[in-house]
Structure formats: structure tokens, C-alpha cells
């Protein structure tokens, strides 16, 4: 038996990296998975790579109309949601304060903070008793790393969400938790030398793998974590801890 047998999971931004690895693992563990992505060609490739019981829904995580279409499809096809992994994110982790513009601020907060809130809000009527909501944040929200003003602030909002929603949804036994990855080896391009400077600060001495985020998400999605509520789980090689 898989740890997610019979569960319905929604994972946003799952066309690459951490969320794609999570979708693959959730399907392998028995879940019916719905993933989202902005580009149809990349989304189709992700669906093919995941295989098994997965449905792709094209949409922008910061667009409320797209979120409504996602919720409508999930409601019609499945009638409920047992796991939400709000992983879609955007932002420039190398944008110092003088470079911030109203446009870059709005674009980052639209997806990371606004999009996450309204995704969960729209899915609330479908969330089953005992459902798990997982928000994907970042160690940048805790470290005060130069150049991350807007990105870190938009992700720090998720910490407040988890605390408040844990209290608000307690009567439905819905648990809300956060994963805060450290430097993960994904397809995201970073400025020259930045990876090396980051790794130098990681006690584990390396970047993490997307699969290591996926296994953390599986723990929070499964019955293994039924007494874990409002927690921020750092999967960061120790970088935010020392």
C-alpha cells in the first residue's frame, strides 16, 4: 500500500524541480494528482514524465480566473481534495533594494502571497476532513540574505498563513504546514558565483535534491504527520539553523 492511496492531491507549479519531483512521488504512493503550470507544452511534458494518475491544468498561479478553472475541474472530476501543495512561486533572489520596482514587487507578491492565499481559499469547500495543506516557502524568508527583499517578504507571508489557518481550520482537522527549502539543485539559473557562495554556508556541504523536498512533502501529506500543525519544516542542509 502507498502512503497516499485513494488521496486526491493538487500541486501547483509542478512542471519542474521540487514540485515535479513531489508529483512523481505522490503518484507512486497512490495519489490521484492534479498539477498546474503556465506553459502548455511544458505542462504536457511534465504529465508524460510523471505518468500514472495525473491531470494537468494550464494556468497562472497568480490569476484568479485560472484558479477558479482549476477548482471547477477538481470539483467536477474528484469532488474533494485531500492534499494541497502550494508550490508555485516566482521572484528574483538577486534583486537588491535599490533595484526593486513596483512592477517586480507586484509580480512577485501576486504569485507567492496572493496566489497562495486565494488557491487555498478557493479550495476550502473541497478540502476533506483531515486534509493536509503544505505551503512551499524558502530559507530566504528567515536568513535576511542580501538581494532577497521582495522574494523573502512574499514567502514570509506564508509563515503567517500557516499559523492563522491552523487555528481557523482546526474544527475541520485540517493541518497546515510549511516546507522551507534551502539551496536546491533545480533548473533555475542563478548569477555566476552565487551557488558557490551559498553552498559554502551549508553545513551539509552541497545543494539539496528535489527528491529531498518531495520526501518531506510526502511526510506532511501522509498520516505520518497527523500531529504536526502550523510547523515550518526546514529542508536546508542546516543553513538556516547555524
Q: What is the CATH number of domain 8-234?
A: 3.40.50.720
Count of CA atoms in the C-beta half-sphere (13 A) of 214: 19
Would you call 161 a catalytic residue per the annotation? no
At 181, is the secondary structure helix, strand, or coil? strand
Q: What confidence score (pLDDT) does residue 220 get?
A: 98
| Contact indicator for 183, 207 with CB cutoff of 8 Å | yes
Q: What confidence score (pLDDT) does residue 197 get?
A: 77
What pTM was estimated for this model as a whole? 0.95
Where the chain has pLDDT below 70, the residues are 187-192, 194
Orientation angle between helical segments 149-168 and 102-109, nearest 10 degrees: 30
Report pLDDT digits (tens) over 175-192: 999 999 998 988 666 666
208 DSSP assignment: B
Report pLDDT digits (tens) over 197-235: 778 889 999 999 999 999 999 999 999 999 999 999 999
Can you tell me the distance from the alpha carbon of 185 to that of 129, in angstroms, rounded to the nearest whole number? 35
Please pick, among 26, 85, 109, 151, the residue that the annotation labels catalytic: 151
Amino acid at each position: 500500500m502507498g502512503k497516499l492511496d485513494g488521496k486526491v492531491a493538487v500541486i501547483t507549479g509542478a512542471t519542474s524541480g521540487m514540485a515535479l519531483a513531489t508529483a512523481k512521488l505522490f503518484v507512486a504512493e497512490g495519489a490521484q494528482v492534479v498539477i498546474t503550470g503556465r506553459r502548455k507544452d511544458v505542462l504536457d511534458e511534465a504529465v508524460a514524465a510523471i505518468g500514472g494518475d495525473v491531470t494537468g491544468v494550464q494556468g497562472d498561479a497568480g490569476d484568479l480566473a485560472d484558479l477558479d478553472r482549476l477548482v471547477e475541474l477538481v470539483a467536477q472530476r474528484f469532488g474533494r481534495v485531500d492534499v494541497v501543495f502550494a508550490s508555485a512561486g516566482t521572484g528574483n533572489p538577486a534583486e537588491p533594494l535599490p533595484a526593486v520596482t513596483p512592477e517586480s514587487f507586484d509580480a512577485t507578491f501576486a504569485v507567492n502571497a496572493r496566489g497562495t492565499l486565494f488557491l487555498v481559499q478557493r479550495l476550502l469547500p473541497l478540502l476533506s476532513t483531515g486534509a493536509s495543506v503544505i505551503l512551499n516557502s524558502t530559507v530566504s524568508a528567515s536568513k535576511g540574505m542580501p538581494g532577497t527583499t521582495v522574494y523573502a517578504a512574499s514567502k514570509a507571508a506564508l509563515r503567517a498563513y500557516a499559523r492563522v489557518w491552523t487555528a481557523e481550520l482546526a474544527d475541520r482537522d485540517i493541518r497546515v504546514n510549511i516546507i522551507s527549502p534551502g539551496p536546491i539543485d533545480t533548473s533555475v539559473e542563478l548569477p555566476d558565483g552565487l551557488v558557490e557562495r551559498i553552498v559554502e554556508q551549508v553545513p551539509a556541504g552541497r545543494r539539496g535534491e528535489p527528491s529531498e523536498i518531495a520526501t518531506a512533502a510526502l511526510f506532511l501529506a501522509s498520516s505520518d504527520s497527523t500531529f504536526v500543525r502550523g510547523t515550518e519544516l526546514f529542508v536546508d542542509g542546516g543553513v538556516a539553523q547555524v
